[in-house]
Amino acid sequence: MIIILLLACREPAEQTENGPGDDPTVTTDPTLPVPEAVDTAYGVDSAAETGDTGPEPPLFWTYVDTDSIHSCGLVSDGSVRCWGIDECTNNTPRPWEQLTQISLGIGQGCGLRPDGTLLCWNCDHFDEEVRRETPPGVFLRVEVGAGAACAQDAAGILTCWGVDFVVGTPPPGPVLDFALDANATAAVLPDGSIIAWGDAALWGDDSPPVGVVFSNISMGRRHACGLDTTGLAWCWGDSQNLSPFPPAPPGVWAQIETFNDASCVIDDLGTVSCWYGYPSVSFSLWESQRPAVPFAQLGLGEWDGCGVTLTGEAYCWGGDPSVETWLDVPDLNP
Q: Which helix (H) or strand (E) holds 118?
A: strand 118-122
Determine the pLDDT at residue 141.
Answer: 98
Length of the chain: 334
Does any domain span residue 193? Answer: yes
Instruction: Identify whether residues 181 and 123 lie together within a single domain.
Output: no
The whole domain housing 121 covers 57-168+294-333
6, part of any domain = no
Question: Is 80 exceeded by the pLDDT of residue 323?
Answer: no
Same domain, 98 and 141: yes
Cα–Cα dist 149/131, whole Å: 10
What confidence tier does 34 reach under pLDDT thresholds 50, 70, 90?
very low
Residue type, 85: I
> What is the band of 15 on the pLDDT scale with cuts at 50, 70, 90?
very low
Of the given ranges (131-135, 155-159, 164-168, 307-311), which has the lowest mean pLDDT? 164-168
The rounded distance, in Å, linking the Cα atoms of 113 and 246 is: 38
Is there a domain that residue 220 lies in?
yes
Q: Do 209 and 141 fall within a single domain?
A: no
Q: How many domains does the chain have?
A: 2
Say what the pTM is: 0.80
Q: How would you label 263-280 residue by residue, b for 16+ Cβ within 10 Å and e otherwise?
A: bbbbeeebebebbbbeeb
91 contacts: CB under 8 Å, gap ≥ 6: 121, 122, 123, 124
Do the beta carbons of residue 244 and residue 213 sit within 8 Å? no
Q: Compute the distance between CA of residue 307 and CA of residue 289 in angstroms, rounded to an integer.
A: 12
Q: Are residues 300 and 274 in the same domain?
A: no
CA-based nearest residue to 258, from 112, 175, 122, 143: 143
Q: Are residues 184 and 149 in the same domain?
A: no
229 vs 213: CA distance, rounded Å: 6
Decide if pLDDT at 325 tops 60: yes
For residue 17, pLDDT beyond 50: no
User: What is the spatial distance between Cα 266 and Cα 297, in angstroms, rounded to a whole number?
Assistant: 8
Q: Are 67 and 106 in contact (CB under 8 A)?
A: yes
- Do 73 and 135 share a domain, yes or no? yes
Domain boundary residue, one of 252, 278, 304: 278
pLDDT digits over 174-210, tens only? 999 999 987 789 999 999 999 988 875 567 667 899 9
